[in-house]
DNA sequence: TTTACTGCAAATATTTTGCAATATC
DNA sequence: GATATTGCAAAATATTTGCAGTAAA
């Protein structure tokens, strides 16, 4: 399981979620916390379907509707981010407090690479947009990945 | 109709698309250019459905499948960008050559605001990622828009 | 005890695909 | 003339919704 400390305040994801649910007068159900636990234990991007299959295989049953609902709550309270790459289904990731990364997306093969980029993160964090209360950023860099570049070079060479 | 000059080379969108189709040995059909023309004449984000209805109402008939295919070609050759905001359908926009903007997305009401931000654009353009051949960026800034902030303040005040 | 939440299944929305007819090259 | 592209409809995929039963507060 990953660490879930939050910006030095040492609040666990559980505590954040509990506080969020409380503030919205929503119920603290076992399904919601089971889903949070499993999300927090997942290092990769996952789709709802991935997640649904995964949690079933661990012997815990929740309906798809509850997965959709709960993941959305986690997005709303900032514990999870949603990405919609290419034309595939929504992908989610647990937010490791205090960290940040961007995504390099290959427009040829669709492969996603994560990059930590403190320089850009710093510039973005310093940015203020008038009358807009920023909470976070998503930066997507589109281009051709090394594998596809290599493939293209090889094909070109073979044509000669 | 908007100007379609490209990075000082004065290539029209038509010329770019023609060149692209030629390079891929694809056919230059009237449907493809009619779709490009209408895309280039549209200032806002549009969904495939919006676009389909719009082009029908102008008396030009193309099938949905052709709209999907052709818009994807335009994305592939860089004349159009695709955004997938929130959980709505894909939104597209014509790329005005040489310009750039980011998107502020309200996590409460879903409203999208475009902002030109030359500073950030400059920083991003200067960025190089090893073994990745960048073609463009998309930056999404999430937060609460002024309207929603105001609404929240008013509600709080009324509770007192 | 009240009613928010859950599971299930059906409905909706969006996008993709197969195939016969057509038009580009 | 060969075959890429089109239109149409059906299929596939992803997500939302309605409702009756269950459980948190």
**Three-state SS string across chain B, please?**
CCCCCCCCCCCCHHHHHHHHHHHCCCCCCHHHHHHHHHHHCCCCCECHHHHHHHHHHCCCCCCHHHHHHHHHHHHHCCCEEEECCCCCCCEEEECCCCCCCEEEEECCCCCEEEECCHHHHHHHHHCCCCCCEEEEEEEEEEEECHHHHHHHHHHHHHHC
Are the CB atoms for B143 and B107 separated by under 8 Å? yes
Share of chain B above pLDDT 70, in %: 91
Give me B157's structure tokens.
């005040």
Residues of A in contact with B140 (CB under 8 A): 137-140
Predicted confidence (pLDDT) per residue in B16-54, tens digit: 999 999 999 999 999 999 999 999 999 999 999 999 999
Find the nucleotide nearest B90 (Cα to C1′).
Answer: C14
Q: Enumerate the CATH 1.10.10.10 domain ranges in chain A, comma separated.
A: 1-97
What is the location of CATH 3.30.1490.190 in chain B? 98-160
For A84-113, the pLDDT digits (tens) are 999 999 999 999 998 999 999 999 999 999
Q: How many CB atoms lie within 10 A of CB A92?
A: 23
Q: How far is the CA of B31 from the C1' of D17 (A)?
A: 38
- H or E element, residue B80: strand B80-83
Q: Does domain B1-97 have CATH number 1.20.120.160?
A: no
| Structure confidence at residue B3 (pLDDT) | 45
Higher-pLDDT residue of B153, A120: A120
For domain A98-160, give its CATH number from 3.40.50.12780, 3.30.1490.190, 3.40.190.10, 3.20.20.140.
3.30.1490.190
Q: How far apart are CA B156 and CA B160, in angstroms?
A: 7
pTM of the model: 0.91
Cβ of A89 less than 7 A from strand C = no
Report residue A35 as tokens.
């889903």
Q: What pLDDT score was predicted for residue B27?
A: 98
Residues B55, B14: Cα–Cα separation, whole Å: 18
Here the tokens at position B142 are 């999430």
Closest nt to B86 (CA→C1')?
D15
Q: Which residues of chain B have pLDDT under 70?
A: 1-11, 156, 159-160
């Amino acid at each position: 399981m990953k660490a879930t400390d939050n910006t030095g305040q040492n609040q666990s994801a559980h505590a954040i979620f509990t506080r969020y649910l409380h503030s919205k007068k929503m119920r603290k159900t076992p399904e919601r916390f089971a889903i949070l636990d499993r999300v927090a234990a997942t290092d990769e991007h996952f789709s709802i379907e991935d997640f649904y299959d995964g949690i079933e295989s661990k012997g815990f049953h929740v309906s798809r509707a509850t997965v959709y609902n709960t993941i959305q709550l986690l997005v709303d309270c900032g514990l999870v981010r949603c990405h919609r790459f290419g034309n595939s289904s929504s992908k989610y990731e647990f937010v490791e407090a205090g960290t940040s990364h961007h995504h390099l997306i290959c427009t040829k093969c669709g492969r996603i690479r994560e990059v930590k980029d403190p320089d850009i993160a710093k510039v973005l964090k310093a940015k203020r947009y008038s009358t807009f209360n920023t909470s976070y950023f998503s930066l997507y860099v589109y281009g051709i990945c090394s594998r596809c570049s290599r493939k293209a070079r090889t094909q070109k060479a073979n044509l000669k």
